[in-house]
Amino acid sequence: MAAPQQLSRQDARRIAVRAQLLDASRPVDLLDTIRRLTLVQYEPTASVAPSADLVLWSRLGRLYRPEDLQRALASHVVVELRSMMRAAHDVALYRAEMRAWPGENAPGFWVNASRWVEANPALRADILQRLKRGGPMISRDLPDEKCAVPWKSSGWNTGRNAAMMLEFLELSGDVAVAGRLGRERRWDLAERVYPDDPVVPLQDAARERRVRRLRSLGLARLRTTQTQLEPMDVGDVGEPAVIEGVRGTWRVDPAALAAVRSEFAGRTAILSPFDRLVFDRKRLVELFEFDYQLGIYKPEAQRRFGFYALPVLHGDRLVGKVDATSDVPASVLRVHRLYEDEPWDAELKDAVHTELESLAMMLRLRLVV
């Protein structure tokens, strides 16, 4: 077994920043950006802008407009799968898992969901037939009178039989998100949405997904806290590494490791709270030593940095947050407060202001600081 690569915290940060396309070498193409990131999360909170727009704007800058993403989704060049937007041809890496759903060693929730689907064959068949005849529909337009066993949960999904059936039919590859009507998903048969690419065998697909995940993150834990939507660990792909001052062993992308000694050119970027650079809060603290708390899940009195704080990246450091709100009726992007984690010099202040002006331009709003 090869000895782990020795990395400084700065090395690790720069690997992560480069991998997430946040260094000075900006990408120029929307689809290529999504492919290289592997995913862009759909998150409906739009205090400033939908997270997907913030993520893509922070990479593409003035080249990006929200309608670009909407066109890509409408033409199914980009698709939404499990609340993640992905290049459509990447779905081939998920089709074998869909066919095997819920699969071996599945979480108990998925096993129970699969049994519920099996207990409701008439509801399943009715939904598929209605979609086949009528095309894309939202869940509330689909009746559930053919449900034999109502869905029960400990939360607000109890009795939402058609909506839950659609969720599980997406996991099994029968239906897909064809677009959205506001925040509501419009469902259609998967064969009308996903490309008809050859299905990658299950084990090969799982490994390729880990390889791509590591490539997009630069470095990650062998194992870490699991999330419902997308894993953050990478298994045994890549090369082992240890980071000075950080406990445990990491995995690093070989291509990123080869570039670690090359000159690093950073830039200033304002990020979505759901950006993959900052999404893994444990990694965020370990690599960037960044004090951050998202306010949308907190009562107002407990919010430290406002409702929807946007992290500020400068070079390979996270240096502060922006508390801002889009006031669409007033046509204003209003910045309430800038939090400096360390004193900002005039150059950094100018760079943050320039990014805020670019953000306001993307949103077609006037900037008010």
Task: Return mean pLDDT, the chain.
Answer: 94
Among 129, 157, 172, the domain-final residue is 172
Q: Is the pLDDT of residue 289 over 90?
A: yes
Residue-wise pLDDT for 116-153, tens only, equals 999 999 999 999 999 999 999 999 999 999 999 999 98
Q: What is the pLDDT of residues 13-38, one digit of tens each?
A: 999 999 999 999 999 999 999 999 99
When pLDDT is cut at 50, 70 and 90, the band that residue 107 belongs to is confident
- Would 201 be classed as within a structural domain? no
CA–CA dist 163, 209 (Å, integer): 28
Quote the pLDDT of residue 118: 97
With 90 as the cut, is the pLDDT of residue 57 above it? yes
pTM over 0.75: yes
Q: Is the pLDDT of residue 301 over 90?
A: no
Kindly state the average pLDDT of the residues 96-100: 96
Domain assignment present for 263: no
Whether the predicted pLDDT of 86 surpasses 90? yes
Residue 23 lies in a domain: no
In a domain, 47, yes or no: no
- Domain edge (last residue) among 139, 155, 172: 172
**Is residue 357 included in any domain, yes or no?**
yes
* Residue 191 placed within a domain: no
Distance CA 301, CA 96 (A): 47
For residue 281, is it within any domain? Answer: yes
Contact 92, 79 (CB under 8 A): no
Task: With cut-offs at 50, 70 and 90, classify the pLDDT of residue 44.
Answer: confident
For the chain, what is the domain count? 2
Return the pLDDT at 226: 67
Q: Would you say the C-alpha torsion 132, 137, 138, 140 has a positive or negative sign?
A: negative
Helix spans in the chain (H):
9-19, 30-37, 51-60, 66-74, 95-99, 108-118, 121-134, 161-171, 202-217, 254-258, 281-283, 346-363
**Mean per-residue pLDDT, 298-326:** 94
Burial of 206 (0-12, 13-18, 19+ CB in 10 A): middle
Quote the pLDDT of residue 278: 95
| Contact (Cβ atoms closer than 8 angstroms) between residue 178 and residue 193 | yes
Q: What's residue 2's pLDDT?
A: 74
- Of 172, 192, 225, at which residue does a domain stop? 172
328 domain-assigned: yes
Share of the chain above pLDDT 90, in %: 82
**Domain of residue 339, residue span:** 268-368
Q: Any residues with CB less than 8 A from the CB of 161 and at least 6 apart, and which?
A: 120, 123, 144, 147, 150, 151
